[in-house]
Chain A
């Protein structure tokens, strides 16, 4: 048997040959589709560039001064990553509150979501930066000087708090949907095993809910990278601050705004790619 098998080259097996041909064909079709898509992107990018070149700008200036703006990328990413982590924590608790039957938890999360989603992020930033220290002053007069220090946040801390609170409120709905998407049988099974509510959440529900939550959180992260520009009003030298203040210096507004826009765009492209990789990883267990 072994000898006969080895003597027959794979090409001579008609079924295998047909299968390989099909695979090759499918691969070719996919390649052609990719090339077509690439051409469309290239044409669109060329049109966009041509349009931008119609602006009365000096591309050399933009190139020469992009480095100064690039030095703000770390701050933008840092603020966004820390904020999305805190926001995820807030959103988890917010969602648990919404789903809970405890009136206090329900009330707290309901009011939180309502107030934060009902007011602009910019005004929240102002309140946290300007308003909180004034509450701290009152506490100090009441005899709690340490609390006063906590209420007086630096620029970056205030920005992170505002972004976290804001995105936490929006992400509460994402987390709620994720938690609810896990089948009811899972809750019952965990309860039957005698798990406490925390154990149930940590070991059974969250691992399944995370897979549903992750893509939307990635979306929020991409949006947050741009909203983090608001911390520039408190004087944090991130991408927007650097671009804007440099523009003021030499009156090159369009140039520097364009530089900032391109940097944000590249950040978004990279984030989207990371997000799709994470999604694939999360989906492993469910693939056939």
Chain B
């Protein structure tokens, strides 16, 4: 054979590469794999402060077990990151981070590039087709806000038939339309026949509410932290009664993972329940949001999701 055809050369190169790969050590499931590796590879998109943001000028941890294309714990910060570090600590492993865009995380089929998402992901039915969810570690409570000067509304049900603002295509819209479904939770819609006033974002609705009591809106339904930060920014509004429903934010694993991910997500759920019980999550929530958003997630019945 005087000369090799290029096709043959490429084939030989491929065979060489495959032959050189060390045989994968057989671990029974994802949890065993994580424990054997000594690192928990977590996806987080540092585009969402205060959940996850990057730390400028941080140096990589010195004696880390994280791979070269992964980030060490000190290169990121935020509520999700603190929760992740604590979960990894209680698993007895080091937390390593990868930062794919959010839509790559919720798409599922991670190809075992990372083990778990701890990224404030709301539990929804469509996502449950691709992912297994853990016990939620905190919530986004939905609450009504009214103008500060209002005295006629005492509780959310007083808003029946009133003009209520909300962001379009949000869970708040679906709630007011009576079509909201939250996996694992049952709730009743306390406001009957509201006049729906959709806005591009909740913030514009809050601005209109701030114009005066009943000027353009009687109330706004939005996330409790959103309303709270608007109040902190000086908007003359107040929260009306307790939150009317909760969205649950949890860790998630890929159903299509190479090794059975159920033991891992069960173990993480156990750890999250411990962190609820000893007040770790409530404390972290206070630190990052100024509110206890964690406690309502402690009582969530994970078995009601019937995931496995």
Measuring CB to CB, which residues of chain A are less than 8 angstroms from any residue of chain B?
Answer: 65, 67-68, 93, 129-130, 133-134, 136-137, 140, 145-147, 149-150, 152, 154-156, 198, 232-235, 237, 241-242, 244-246, 248-249
Q: Which residues of A contact B48 (CB under 8 A)?
A: 248
Q: Which residues of A contact B54 (CB under 8 A)?
A: 242, 245-246, 249
Report 22 cross-chain contacts, Cβ distance below 8 Å, ordered by A residue: A67-B57, A133-B111, A136-B111, A145-B24, A146-B18, A149-B21, A152-B112, A152-B113, A154-B69, A155-B100, A198-B3, A232-B101, A233-B104, A235-B43, A235-B45, A235-B99, A237-B99, A241-B99, A244-B47, A246-B54, A248-B46, A249-B54
Smallest distance from the beta carbon of B294 to chain A beta carbons, Å? 23
Smallest distance from the beta carbon of B226 to chain A beta carbons, Å? 15
Main DSSP-derived SS at the A contact region: helix
The residue on A at minimum CB distance from B24 is: A145
Smallest distance from the beta carbon of A78 to chain B beta carbons, Å? 13
CB atoms of A65 and B53 under 8 A apart: no
Per the bound structure, the CA–CA distance linking A41 and B101 in Å amounts to: 39
Smallest distance from the beta carbon of A144 to chain B beta carbons, Å? 9
CB atoms of A68 and B101 under 8 A apart: no
Per the bound structure, the CA–CA distance linking A9 and B99 in Å amounts to: 75
A130-B109, A235-B100, A244-B47 known; A150 vs B14 contact (CB < 8 Å): yes
Main DSSP-derived SS at the B contact region: loop
CB atoms of B46 and A245 under 8 A apart: yes
**Binary interface profile of B, 26-56, with partner A (CB < 8 Å = 1, else 0)?**
0000000000000000010111110001101
The residue on B at minimum CB distance from A154 is: B69
Q: Which residues of A contact B6 (CB under 8 A)?
A: 93
- Which of B14, B19, B21, B104 has its CB near the most chain A CB atoms (within 10 A)? B104
CB atoms of B17 and A235 under 8 A apart: no
A-B contacts besides A245-B47, A246-B54, 8 pairs, CB < 8 Å? A67-B57, A133-B111, A145-B24, A152-B113, A155-B113, A234-B104, A235-B98, A248-B48
A149-B21, A233-B101, A234-B100 known; A155 vs B3 contact (CB < 8 Å): no
Q: Which residues of B contact A146 (CB under 8 A)?
A: 18-19, 21
**Binary interface profile of B, 58-87, with partner A (CB < 8 Å = 1, else 0)?**
000000000001000000000000000000
A136-B111, A245-B47 known; A129 vs B18 contact (CB < 8 Å): no
Q: Which residues of B contact A249 (CB under 8 A)?
A: 46, 49, 53-54
CB atoms of A134 and B109 under 8 A apart: yes
- Interface range on chain B (Cβ under 8 Å from partner): 20 to 34
Per the bound structure, the CA–CA distance linking A149 and B24 in Å amounts to: 10
CB atoms of B101 and A235 under 8 A apart: yes
Q: Which residues of B contact A241 (CB under 8 A)?
A: 99
CB atoms of B256 and A137 under 8 A apart: yes
Per the bound structure, the CA–CA distance linking A216 and B37 in Å amounts to: 47
CB atoms of A234 and B49 under 8 A apart: no
Per the bound structure, the CA–CA distance linking A146 and B43 in Å amounts to: 25
Is the C-beta of B107 less than 8 angstroms from some C-beta in chain A? yes
Smallest distance from the beta carbon of A25 to chain B beta carbons, Å? 56
Smallest distance from the beta carbon of A91 to chain B beta carbons, Å? 14
Per the bound structure, the CA–CA distance linking A279 and B21 in Å amounts to: 42
Measuring CB to CB, which residues of chain B are less than 8 angstroms from any residue of chain A?
Answer: 3, 6, 14, 17-19, 21, 24, 43, 45-49, 53-54, 56-57, 69, 98-101, 104, 107, 109, 111-113, 256, 258
Contact of B101 among A145, A156, A198, A234 (CB under 8 A): A234
Smallest distance from the beta carbon of A67 to chain B beta carbons, Å? 8
Per the bound structure, the CA–CA distance linking A155 and B45 in Å amounts to: 14
- Which of B99, B107, B109 has its CB near the most chain A CB atoms (within 10 A)? B99
The residue on B at minimum CB distance from A134 is: B109
Q: Which residues of B contact A155 (CB under 8 A)?
A: 69, 98, 100, 113
Q: Which residues of A contact B17 (CB under 8 A)?
A: 150
Per the bound structure, the CA–CA distance linking A154 and B98 in Å amounts to: 11
A68-B57, A130-B104, A246-B56 known; A152 vs B47 contact (CB < 8 Å): no
Per the bound structure, the CA–CA distance linking A155 and B17 in Å amounts to: 19
Q: Which residues of B contact A237 (CB under 8 A)?
A: 99
Per the bound structure, the CA–CA distance linking A65 and B56 in Å amounts to: 8
CB atoms of B18 and A152 under 8 A apart: no
Q: Which residues of A contact B43 (CB under 8 A)?
A: 235
Q: Which residues of A contact B256 (CB under 8 A)?
A: 137
Per the bound structure, the CA–CA distance linking A18 and B60 in Å amounts to: 68
CB atoms of B18 and A156 under 8 A apart: no
Contact of B18 among A68, A136, A150 (CB under 8 A): A150
- Which of B21, B43, B56 has its CB near the most chain A CB atoms (within 10 A)? B56
A68-B56, A234-B104, A235-B101 known; A248 vs B21 contact (CB < 8 Å): no
A147-B18, A237-B99, A246-B56 known; A152 vs B49 contact (CB < 8 Å): no
Q: Which residues of B contact A136 (CB under 8 A)?
A: 111
A147-B18, A155-B100 known; A245 vs B109 contact (CB < 8 Å): no
Per the bound structure, the CA–CA distance linking A68 and B53 in Å amounts to: 14
Q: Which residues of A contact B107 (CB under 8 A)?
A: 130
Q: Which residues of A contact B3 (CB under 8 A)?
A: 198
Per the bound structure, the CA–CA distance linking A129 and B101 in Å amounts to: 12
Q: Which residues of A contact B100 (CB under 8 A)?
A: 155, 233-235
